[in-house]
Structure 1
Amino acid sequence: MPVHFKIVVDCADPHRVAAFWAEAMDYKLEDHSSFIAGLLAQGIITEDLLTEVDGRHAWKTLAAIRNPDDPFDEASDAGKGMRILFQQVPEPKTVKNRLHLDLHVGLDNIDSEAERLEALGATRHSERLQEGPAQWIVMQDPEGNEFCVHS
C-alpha cells in the first residue's frame, strides 16, 4: 500500500517561511485557529504553545501549507494531500540541503518566475543551468534552503 507523506522543513521562523512558500507555490496557508480554539476550550493545550499570526491563534513552532485543490480536514484545516510542514528548530542551517524542491514552471517561465520569487524574498544561488533538455536556476528561500526553478 502506498504511504501518505508530507514534506517537513526545519527553520527558525516557520510562519515567515510558510508564507514565502505559500506565495511561491500558490498553496494555501493552513489556518489551525478553529482547531486550536477547541483544544484551548477543552483545556488540552495552553497559551504557551501558541503565537498570533494575522490576528489569529497559530502554533508557535509550526506552520503548514497545502495544495488548495487537495482534500483537507475541515476541523483542523490540515491538508490530506500534498502538504509542507515548517517546524522551528534551534540550530541554523549550516550545509547544503540533502533534499530540495524543484518548482516546474516551464522553459519559457524560468527567468520571470525566478524574478517573482526574488521579490518574495528568495535569492539566486546560480544562473541558468542546463543538462540535456532540462534547464533550471538554483535559488534559496528566505532562510537559505535551496530549491530549483525548473523547466
Structure 2
Amino acid sequence: MALHWKLVIDCADPIRLAGFWAEALGYRVEDHTALIDGLVESGALPPQAYVEVDGRRAFRELAAVRHPDDPADPASDMGLGRRLLLQAVPEPKQVKNRLHIDLHVAPGAREAEVKRLEGLGATVLREVADRGSVHTTMADPEGNEFDVQ
C-alpha cells in the first residue's frame, strides 16, 4: 500500500513562503480558518498562535499549499494529495539543501519561467549544463534551492 506524504520546508516566515510557492506552482494556499476556529473554541490554541491574513485565520508558524485539483479535507482544508507544508524554525538556513524541488516547464519556456519566478522573489544561483541536463538552479525568497528544467 502506498503512503500519503507531504514535503515539509523549514523556514523563517511560512506565510510569506506559502504565498511564493502557491504562485510559483499554481497551487492554492490552504485556508485553515475552520481548523483554527475549532482549536480556539476547544481551548487548544492560544490567540498568539494564529494571525489574520487576507480575511482568514492562519497559523503563525505553519502554512501549506496544495495542488488545486487534489482532494482536501473539508473540515480543515488540508490537502490530501500534492502538498507543501512550510514550518517556522528558529535557525536560519546554513548549507545547501539535500532535497529540492524540480520544476518542469514546456520546451523553450525555461527562460520565461525563470524571469517570472524572479518577479516573485526567487534568485538565480547558477545555470547548469551537465550530464545531459540543462537547468537553472534558483533559490526561493529564504534561500531554499530548486531547479527549473
**Is 1:80 matched with 2:95?**
no
Distance 1:12 1:44 in 2: 24
Aligned to 1:139: 138
Q: How far 1:41 moved relative to its partner?
A: 1.9
Cα deviation digits, residues 68-109 of structure 1 (max 9, x gap): 100000110000001000000000000000000000012311
Q: How far 1:40 moved relative to its partner?
A: 1.4
Cα deviation digits, residues 29-77 of structure 1 (max 9, x gap): 0010122112212222221211221232111100000011000001100
Q: How far 1:129 moved relative to its partner?
A: 2.8
Q: State the identity as a percent.
A: 54
Amino acid at match of 2:73: D
- Is 1:10–1:86's contact at 8 Å kept on the other side of the alignment? yes
Distance 2:97 2:128 in 1: 19
Amino acid at match of 2:142: E
1:2-151 matches, within 5 Å, as: 2-132=2-132, 134-150=133-149
- Is 1:118–1:124's contact at 8 Å kept on the other side of the alignment? yes
- State the secondary structure of the residue aligned to 1:51: strand
Structure 1 range deviating more: 55-64 or 8-17: 55-64
- State the secondary structure of the residue aligned to 1:117: helix
Give the alignment's TM-score, normalised by structure 1: 0.94
Q: How far 1:130 moved relative to its partner?
A: 4.5
Q: Which contiguous aligned blocks of 4+ residues in structure 1 show a shift greater than 6 angstroms? A: none
Give the alignment's TM-score, normalised by structure 2: 0.95
- State the secondary structure of the residue aligned to 1:15: helix
- State the secondary structure of the residue aligned to 1:37: helix
Distance 1:77 1:90 in 2: 27
Structure 1: any 5+ residue segments left out of the alignment?
Answer: none
Q: How far 1:128 moved relative to its partner?
A: 4.9
Cα RMSD after superposing both structures: 1.1
